[in-house]
Structure 1
Amino acid sequence: MSAVIRIVAGIVTDRAGRFALVRKRGTVAFMQPGGKFEPGETARQALVRELREELGFELREDELVPVGRFAAHAANEVGHTVDADVFEIVVEAEGVAAAEIEELRWVARDEIESLVLAPLTRDVLLPLLDARATGSA
């Protein structure tokens, strides 16, 4: 049985429909921005904090649209699973990689699969977004 890491993740898009994906320092997989909870935080509070710390976005909790709670193999911790509360948000700013984020990329949906992706992104969120886009979700 794998250890579980509780996280929050954001499906962050801009007005043009591009997705923000991040890569942490010393890793190869791109993923949705987000991170771990701090003690006492709600999922919304954690994601607002993580997006501010990692990308410089100043957001309000009420701007986050809940998508669901999902699990997948952890991208960077062997033998672990992530248990993620996922929210959608549209942002106006480009953001800047900070804290442990080495790279921020804005990509169109048809460009995403050319990147090395974290399992949550590749196996759970992209199929969900594709199903919603075709009306089969």
Structure 2
Amino acid sequence: MQRVTNAIYINQNHVLMIKKPRRNWYSAPGGKMEFGESITQAVIREFQEETGFTLKNPKLSSVFTFVMDQEEEWMLFTYFSEEADGKLLSETPEGKLEWIPINQVLNLPMAKGDKEIIKHAINQPQSVLSGTFYYSKEFELQRQRLDEWLTKEDRV
């Protein structure tokens, strides 16, 4: 099972997104966890490597299992942040970085599961959403399960 982290970073009513060249889809910057890394360490490192920004006080927003054609399984840990230090990279090998107005981000071409994850991070940053997305080989969403949103009070 592959473990991946990413972050929804909002600054001045814009979301920092990365347009990946493979499908020309947008996603939140992030990447694979390294051996022994905590999910918070991984999201800070990966976000900095891809964007140039070091997240400050990132909060866990969602945890999802991605099942790819019943053969491969990934865990995605998504964080939310409105604070970061650094300077945006002018280019990154992972794709093109773009600031997208918050009210337009869900209209971008992206994986259907990513839309659910981003919508939750924007609208419910104080809670954690979990679930499972089942995709085909062609990355078409076959079905999904969204678990109840867990508020801070539920996580005690």
TM bucket normalised to smaller: 0.7 to 0.9
After TM superposition, list the pairs within 5 Å mapping 1:1-137 onto structure 2: 4-14=1-11, 16-60=12-56, 63-72=57-66, 80-90=72-82, 91=84, 95-96=88-89, 98-126=91-119, 128-129=120-121, 131-132=123-124
Greater Rg over alpha carbons, structure: 2
> Matched residues in 1 for 2:72 and 2:24: separation?
17
For residues 35-63 of structure 1, what are the alpha-carbon distances to aligned partners after superposition, in whole Å with 9 as ceiling and x for unaligned?
Answer: 11011111111111111111111345xx1
Q: Which segment drifts farther, 79-88 or 44-53?
A: 79-88
> Matched residues in 2 for 1:38 and 1:22: separation?
21
Structure with bigger helix share is: 1
Return 5+ residue gaps in structure 2 as ranges.
Answer: 126-148, 150-156
Which amino acid letter does the alignment assign opposite residue 119 of structure 1? K
Residue 93 and residue 106 in structure 1: after superposition, are their counterparts in 2 closer, same or farther (change >3 A)? farther
Number of aligned residue pairs: give it: 125
| Percent identity of paired positions between Structure 1 and Structure 2 | 19
Per the normalisation by structure 1, the TM-score is 0.73
Residue 96 and residue 123 in structure 1: after superposition, are their counterparts in 2 closer, same or farther (change >3 A)? same
Residue 82 and residue 25 in structure 1: after superposition, are their counterparts in 2 closer, same or farther (change >3 A)? same
Residue 21 and residue 5 in structure 1: after superposition, are their counterparts in 2 closer, same or farther (change >3 A)? same
Residue 66 and residue 123 in structure 1: after superposition, are their counterparts in 2 closer, same or farther (change >3 A)? closer
SS in structure 2 opposite 1:87? strand
Larger RCO, structure (CA 8 Å, separation 6 or more):
1
